[in-house]
Structure 1
Amino acid sequence: MYGSSPLQQEPCSPALSPIHHLASSSGRLESDTSKSLNDVFAFNEPDTPYSPVILSPRNQHQEDDDASSKSSTASEATQNFSDSDMESTYSDNLDSSYFTEPQVRPKPLNTNTKGEEKRSKLLSRAIHSSALRKVAALEPCCKKKCSDGYSRSTIKDKRTDYFSAPSRNEWIKQKLGSFQVGSDKRAFQFKVNGSEVCREAWCRIYGINKNTYYRELNNFRMGLEWAGLRQGRSLSSKCISISVWFGHYVAIHGDKMPHKEEIWLPYNTRKVDIFNKYAEDCEDRSEPYCCLQSFLNMWKTFYPHVAIKKCSLFTKCTICVRLGRDLAKTRDPVKRRKIKLKRQEHDARQMAERLAYYQRREAARQEPDKYLSLIIDGMDQAKTYLPHFVGDKSKDLTTADLMKVHVSGIISHGHGLRATYVDFFEYSHDSNLTLNLLLKLLAKLSTGSQLPPILFIQADNCYRENKNKFMLAFLDLLVHKRIFREIQLSFLMVGHTHEDIDQMFSRVADKLRHQEAHTPEQLINMMPECSRLRGLYNIRDWLKPSVSMIKGQSQPGQFRFRLSKDDPDSVDMFYRKGQGQDWKKLKTGMFKRSKESGKPIRPKGIPKIIPVSFDNRNINAQKLINEQLPKWAPYLGCDQEHYMWEQHLKQMVKAGSSAIEMAKYSKVGTMWALPKLPKYPEESVDEEPAVPDDLRRLLEKEQENPEITVSGASAAAPRTTTRRARRRLVD
C-alpha cells in the first residue's frame, strides 16, 4: 500500500533551555534590509520561540538513541536541517498574546440578612426596659454625676442611633474624631445633645462596653481605617506583580473551554503548587512576594473565570492522565518528585507548541500584508441539533428525532475574520471538507486584495480531515503555483488543542443555551459570518493519482513548504515533531516524478463536483417529513417555520430521487477558485537603494566583530636597539 518514502523520526538535537530561548529571541534584531522578501529560503519564523523544554541533554540523547534504533530507513528519504541552517521568517519579539487579561468579578449586592438580624437583636437587648433600669441603678459615673440627668427615653434614642449604624466600629471612630481636642489624639470632649459629659457616662448612655471602646480608641490613635473605607485604595506593587505573573501562567497552561467562557488549568493542579512556583520565581529575581492568602484573594478577585479541572468533559492527553493517576496512587516522596518532574517536562513541551502558535498568530496581526494565520476546526455536533429548543424537553422528543447539523469554523487573525459554515451531513467529513473550506476562505480573502506571501495554518490532529497526504499535497500545490512563498502547517499536542476557535464556538453554545433556533436560517443568523456549505469539489480523488505513497505523516507536528533551491519546479517539504527539534527534509517530495524528465507530476484540469449523499450519512428526508416533522410542530414558533422545514426537506427528497436532480443540487455554490487566486507579486528591483551606501557601511561596521593583534615580535624575543641608541651607548 505504501511506497518507499517513509516519514519517520530521526534523532534530533537537544532542546535549548528556556533561558537560552528567551535571551536569543529577545536579543534577535530585525533582518537586514538588504535581505528582501524574495529570499524564500530564509525562513524567518524562529524555530524554537520561547521553548522552555526542561529535558536535560543526557536524557534527551538517551531518548534520541532509542528513536534512532526504530528509524533505520528514514535517512534515505529525509535530510536534517538544524536551526542554524534555516533562518526565521520573522524575528519580532511579540508577546501581547501571552497574557490572560484579568476579569474583576463585580461585587454582588449584599442580600445576606444575618447582619441585619444581629443588629436587630443587639438593639432590642440594649433598649429593653431591664437594661434601661440597670443604667439608672448603677453607681454615679463621676463626681458630677453626668449620666443622672438623662431620661430613659433619651438613652433609648441614643442607643438606637448606635446599634442601628451599618458599622458600629466606624461610628465610634467618627465620634472620637468629632470629640478630639488638638492633634495628639489623647484629649477628647465627650458630648450628648450638646452637653459635655465624662467618658464613662458617654459609654453608659450609648451602651458601649469597655473593651469595645478601648479597642476602637487604639485603632483611632494608630490611624487604622475601617475596611469599608479602603475599598477604593490603589493596589500594592506585590498585588500587581502577582496578577501579571498569574496572567502569563494562565495563558501558557490554561485551556479555553469551547462550551463556556472559562479557562481550565490542568487536572490535579493545586493552588499551593502554583503559589510555590510564583514564590520560587520571585526568590530567583530577589523580589519580595505576597503570602498565600493574598495570592488566593487575587485569584478570586481578578481571575474568577480561571478554574482547575475537576474532571474532563473532553478528550484528554494520555500522558497527562497516566501521570496524574500514578501521582495519585503513590505516597513515596521520591517517586512523587520524579512524577512531578516528568509532568513538568511534558507541560513545558506542550507550552512551547502553544507559544509558537501565539507568536505566528501575533505576527499576522501585526503585519497582515506579510503573514496570513488561519486556524480551522469543527464544533461539537451535540449542540447544533435542529430544531433547537431551550428549557425542559418533552419525553416524546429525543435527540434521535432531531436533525444533525455540522458547523465548521475558520479564523483569520490578521483580518479579524471569523467565518463559519453549516452543512447537514450531505458530505463526508474528510480531507475534502477541509480543503474546500480553505479554498473558499482564500477566495474570499483575495477578493479585491492581495494575499500575504506567507501562510500559517493551525489545525486539529484528526488524520481523516487534516493530517493526511492529501492536505500536504494541496499545500505543496499552492506553493508551486506561486500563490504563497511559504506555508507552515502546525498541530498542537494531542489533548492540548483547545484554542481561540473553541472560544468562538463557546460563545455560539452560550447563545444556544438561552436562545432557540427552530430553522436552519435562524441557526445561521446566530453564527459569525455564517453560510451554507455547498458546492464541494473532490480534491482528494483529483490529487490521488499524483501523490506519492508516504507513511508516518501523522507523527510530525509541524510541516513547512517552500520552493526548492535547486529546482524551481519542485517544492521542498520540511517537517519535525515539535519545537526545539531539527527540521527534516523529504527528498522525494509530495508528488510522483516523471521517469523521463524527473519533474513532479501534478494534477491538471478541474476536479469533479462531489455529489451529495444522504443515504451514506443516514439522513432519510422522507422519514423526517412523515414522522419527525409532526413531532416538531407543537414546539415550532409559527406556521411559517413549519412551512420552511417542509420546503427544505422536500428539496432533499427531490435531490435524492434521481441522478439529474442530485447533480443540480450538488452544483449549487460551485466555483473552482484555485486558478483565480492571485500569485504573490515579484518585488521590483529599485535602482536606488533604500539605504545609502555610506549608511550601509556604517551599519556593517557596527556589526563587525573587532580583533585585537600584537604588533612586532613575540613577547619572548629580545628587544633590539636602534642605531641612534647604539651611538649613545658608545659615546
Structure 2
Amino acid sequence: MDCSDEGYKTETSSCDLLLDDSLSSTKSVRSPLLTSTPKKYTLTVQETGEKKRKDKEERCSQKAAKEVFYTKCGCGDDCTERLGQVIIYQCLQKFVKKLNRDQKRAFIRSSLEHADRKHESGKTYDFSIKGYSICWQAWCMAHGIPESSFRQERRAYEKNWEFTPDLRIGNKYPTKRYLDAKVWLETTAAKIGDRMPDSSTVHLPHCLTRQDVYELYREDHTAREPPLGHSQFAVMWEKELPDITIPKASENHAKCSVCKLLRDNIVHSQKKEESEQWKLARKEHLLKQKNERSKYYKHIKKARSNPEKYLSIIVDGMDQKKTSLPHYTEKIKDDTGKPMGTHVTGAISHGSDSIFAGIDVQNVPHDSNLTITIIMKVLQHEAQKRGGSLPPVLYLQLDNSYRENKNCFVFAFCSELVRQKVVKKVKIGFLLVGHTHEDIDQFFSRISATLKRSDATTIPELEQTITKSFTPAPQAFQVEHVMDFKAWFAEELEAISGHSIPHCFKFTMNSSSPHAQSHIFYKEYSTDPEWQATTGTTFQLLRQTPTEPLSYVIPFPLKHLQAVQEGVSKARSMSRLTTEQHQWWESFLSSLQEYNPPAEVENPLAVFKEYVMPEEQEEEDEEREARRKALQALLARENKKAEVHLKRKRPKSAPSKPPAKKTRRK
C-alpha cells in the first residue's frame, strides 16, 4: 500500500465510500471490533484532554519514527530500514494525527483489499509504501497501528463482515464525579431552595453565592475521588441545572432578612476570623430551614404510605396579579378598563393527592376565616371518601403569616378538632420566613403558565383553566361564603402570646385532665428533642365549645365596581367578549349588590364522625415471637450492669519436696 500524498488521498476517498456503503447497507451483522468503552479518568477534563494530546504527539513524533526505524520486523528482511525515518515519520503523522477512529478502521480495511494477493500469487498479502514492498508487521509499525487492531480488522475482512462505524465518536460521556456533583446540587436545591410560584425556577438562599455553593459541595464531598473542579462545577450548573439560581436584589419575590444580613456581614467582614464566624452562622441557618423542610417531606411520605392513619394538608395563597378578570393572552391598546381582581387559595391533600383551588373576588378579608374555610372544604372532601370520619393524625403546613395562619383562631380551630374527637392529634408546621415556597407553589406556577396561553374572561372559564393546568386535575370552585370562625371563637378564647417564635405546634388531648380538654405543645424547631407545654394560668386556649351558632362573613362592596362595569361594556363593544360571556358578567355583578348568607350552623364540626384508629396489621411470620425473645435477650445482655470485684488473694505456701524414691539394688 503506497503512503504517498496521492495514495493517502485515494485511500481517504475509499474510506468515505466504505463509510457511506456501511451506513446505507441493509445488513444487520455488526463487526465486534474496536467497541471498547471509554476509559474513566481521575483527572479533570482539561488535564485529561492535555494528556491525550501529548500522548498522540509522542506516538507520531520523530523520536517514535526513529524507534520504528531501528526495530526489527518479524520477516527478517529489515523492512523498516528500507523505508527510512522520513517516510515512517510521514506515515505516522498522517495516520495517527489526522484520522479519527472510524477513518483508521476504514484505512486498514481498504489497505487489506488492495494488498490481498490470495488469487494472484502464493502470497497472502503484499503491502507497500512508496514502492517499497514490506511485510505486514513493518507496515503496521510504520503507521503506528497496534498488532491487535490489525488482526481484528483482518479477521473481519476475511469473514466479510460489514464495516459499521462507531456511533459513539463525538459523543461526550459524563464522568462519575460530574454526575455526583449534579445529584448533589439537585438534592441541595430541593432541601434549601424555594420553588417560584410563577415559573419552574428554584431560588437558592439569598445569602449564598456560586462560590459558596461550590465550597459547600466540597465540604459535603466524601468520596475517594477528588471533587469536581470549580470551573467544571460551574459548567455543569449552567448546562444541566439552569433553573437553579440565586436571586438578585432587584427581583420581586421576598427575600429572607436573615440571609440578606448574613450575606452583607460576610462580604463586609474585615478579618478572616469574623468572616468564618458569619459563614458558620449561615450554615446553621441553612441547616435549620433544611430540617424544617425535611420534616414537611416526612409528613407527606407518612400520609401517602399510610393514608388511613395520617392526613397531610398544605394551604397557601397565589399572587393576586396573575388571575385578574377578564384575562387575555394578547393585550391591545384599547384594553383600558379596570379588571376585576381575584384571589386563588390553593390546598393539597397529600394522602389522596387531591388539589383544591378556591377563588374569591377579593370582597372578603384574607384572614384566618378564609384559611379555616378552605381547610374545612378539604376535610369534608376527605371525610366523604372515608365514610364521614378522618384519619386520627392531621398534619397542617401553613405559611408563616400571623394575619392568615399563625394566630389564636387557627389554633382554636385545631384545638376544637381534637376536643370533639374529629382527629386525635393535630400538628402545624411553619417554615422559616423567607423560605416558605413549597410544592403548592409549583401548582401555582402551572396556573400562571397555562394563563399565558389561554384566555379566561369569566370565573367559570378561570376554573376550567385551573382544572386543565395540573395533573391530577384540581378541584376549582368559587368561594361564595366564608365562615366567621373568629366571631364564633371570640367569646370562649383565652389570651395567648409568644406564639410567633416557634415553628411547630401540637394539639392533643390531656389524658390526666378530669375534663376533656385539648392542650397545646410547641417546639421552636422540629429538631428540638422535647415538646414544651404552654405556661401561664391556664393550659387550654378555648374554655369550652362555643354555644352560639356559626354565622358567615358579610362581603364588603367590590372595589372599583363602576370601573369594572365600564371595562366589561367596552370589551363587549370591541368584541372581546361574546354574548354569553357578557351576560354572565351582568348577572354576576348584579348578584354582588345583595348578599344572601346560608343558614347559621350550630356546630360546624358536627358533620364529621369520630375518628377511628386503624387496626394494626399483625406480622404474618411464625418466627416473630422467636425474634422478639432473641432481641430481648440481646438487649438485656447489652444493658446489663456489670460489677467489677477485687478480692485479696491468699499467699501460696512454699511447696514441700516430695519424698525421694527408694531404688532397689540389683
TM-score (normalised: structure 2): 0.70
Counterpart of 2:479 (choices 533, 540, 544) is 533
Counterpart of 1:634 (choices 574, 577, 593) is 574
Letter in 1 for 2:539: G
Q: 1:718 to 1:687 in 2, by over 3 A?
A: same
Counterpart of 1:350?
289
CA contact (8 A) 1:189 1:197 kept: no
Counterpart of 2:605?
674
Alignment of 1:322-721 (within 5 A): 322-330=261-269, 332-394=271-333, 396-398=334-336, 401-449=338-386, 450-527=389-466, 528-567=474-513, 568-581=515-528, 582-587=530-535, 588-591=538-541, 600-614=543-557, 618-620=559-561, 624-626=564-566, 628-631=568-571, 633-634=573-574, 636-653=576-593, 655=594, 662-663=595-596, 666-667=597-598, 673-681=604-612, 696-704=628-636, 705-707=638-640, 709=642, 714-718=646-650
Bigger Rg, which one: 2
Q: 1:425 to 1:715 in 2, by over 3 A?
A: same
CA contact (8 A) 1:373 1:412 kept: yes
CA contact (8 A) 2:457 2:581 kept: yes
In structure 2, what is the Cα distance between the partners aligned to 1:634 and 1:310?
A: 41
Letter in 2 for 1:291: G
Q: Among the aligned pairs, what percent are the same residue?
A: 26
CA deviation string 1:265-321 (max 9, x = no partner): 223633343333323333x45444333344334334432322222343211111111
Q: 1:544 to 1:576 in 2, by over 3 A?
A: same
Q: How many angstroms does 1:188 deviate by?
A: 8.3
In structure 2, what is the Cα distance between the partners aligned to 1:419 and 1:263?
A: 23
Deviates further, 409-418 or 526-535:
526-535
Counterpart of 1:125?
none
**What is the aligned-residue RMSD (CA, Å)?**
4.5
In structure 1, what is the Cα distance between the partners aligned to 2:287 and 2:566?
A: 56
Counterpart of 1:658?
none
Counterpart of 2:243?
305
In structure 2, what is the Cα distance between the partners aligned to 1:259 and 1:514?
A: 14
Q: How many angstroms does 1:378 deviate by?
A: 0.4
SS of residue paired to 1:455: strand
Q: 1:686 to 1:441 in 2, by over 3 A?
A: closer
CA contact (8 A) 2:550 2:602 kept: no
Counterpart of 1:131?
none
CA contact (8 A) 1:591 1:602 kept: no
Alignment of 1:208-357 (within 5 A): 229-230=168-169, 235-267=174-206, 269-282=208-221, 284-311=222-249, 312-330=251-269, 332-357=271-296
Q: How many angstroms does 1:591 deviate by?
A: 3.3
Alignment of 1:80-229 (within 5 A): 147=6, 173-180=101-108, 229=168
In structure 1, what is the Cα distance between the partners aligned to 2:186 and 2:266?
A: 27
In structure 2, what is the Cα distance between the partners aligned to 1:149 and 1:386?
A: 73
Q: What is the aligned length?
A: 533
In structure 2, what is the Cα distance between the partners aligned to 1:307 and 1:343?
A: 18
Q: How many angstroms does 1:579 deviate by?
A: 3.0
Q: 1:710 to 1:524 in 2, by over 3 A?
A: closer
In structure 2, what is the Cα distance between the partners aligned to 1:239 and 1:369?
A: 42
SS of residue paired to 1:701: helix
In structure 2, what is the Cα distance between the partners aligned to 1:510 and 1:562?
A: 41
Q: 1:161 to 1:639 in 2, by over 3 A?
A: farther
Q: How many angstroms does 1:244 deviate by?
A: 2.6
Letter in 1 for 2:559: N
SS of residue paired to 2:446: helix
In structure 1, what is the Cα distance between the partners aligned to 2:447 and 2:375?
A: 22
Q: 1:517 to 1:487 in 2, by over 3 A?
A: same
CA contact (8 A) 2:364 2:556 kept: yes
Letter in 2 for 1:506: S
CA contact (8 A) 1:389 1:516 kept: yes
Q: How many angstroms does 1:161 deviate by?
A: 9.3
CA contact (8 A) 1:179 1:190 kept: no
Q: How many angstroms does 1:689 deviate by?
A: 13
CA deviation string 1:172-225 (max 9, x = no partner): 65343233279xxxx98989xxxx998789xxxxxxxxxxxxxxx7799999xx
Unmatched segments (≥5 aa) in structure 1: 1-141, 202-216, 593-599, 656-661
Q: 1:446 to 1:503 in 2, by over 3 A?
A: same
SS of residue paired to 1:407: strand
Q: How many angstroms does 1:480 deviate by?
A: 0.5
CA contact (8 A) 1:534 1:670 kept: no
Q: 1:159 to 1:456 in 2, by over 3 A?
A: closer
CA contact (8 A) 1:427 1:613 kept: yes
CA contact (8 A) 1:354 1:492 kept: yes
In structure 1, what is the Cα distance between the partners aligned to 2:6 and 2:171?
A: 40
SS of residue paired to 1:344: helix
SS of residue paired to 1:229: coil
CA deviation string 1:606-630 (max 9, x = no partner): 311222222xx5252x553345532
SS of residue paired to 1:410: strand
In structure 2, what is the Cα distance between the partners aligned to 1:685 and 1:305?
A: 44
SS of residue paired to 1:180: helix
In structure 2, what is the Cα distance between the partners aligned to 1:157 and 1:684?
A: 79
Deviates further, 641-650 or 272-281:
272-281
In structure 2, what is the Cα distance between the partners aligned to 1:218 and 1:669?
A: 94
Q: How many angstroms does 1:383 deviate by?
A: 0.5
In structure 2, what is the Cα distance between the partners aligned to 1:577 and 1:219?
A: 71
Q: How many angstroms does 1:473 deviate by?
A: 0.9
Q: 1:526 to 1:686 in 2, by over 3 A?
A: closer
Letter in 2 for 1:179: F
Q: How many angstroms does 1:500 deviate by?
A: 0.6
In structure 2, what is the Cα distance between the partners aligned to 1:487 and 1:308?
A: 35
CA contact (8 A) 1:558 1:578 kept: yes
TM-score (normalised: structure 1): 0.64
CA deviation string 1:469-517 (max 9, x = no partner): 1111111110011111111111111111011111110010111112111
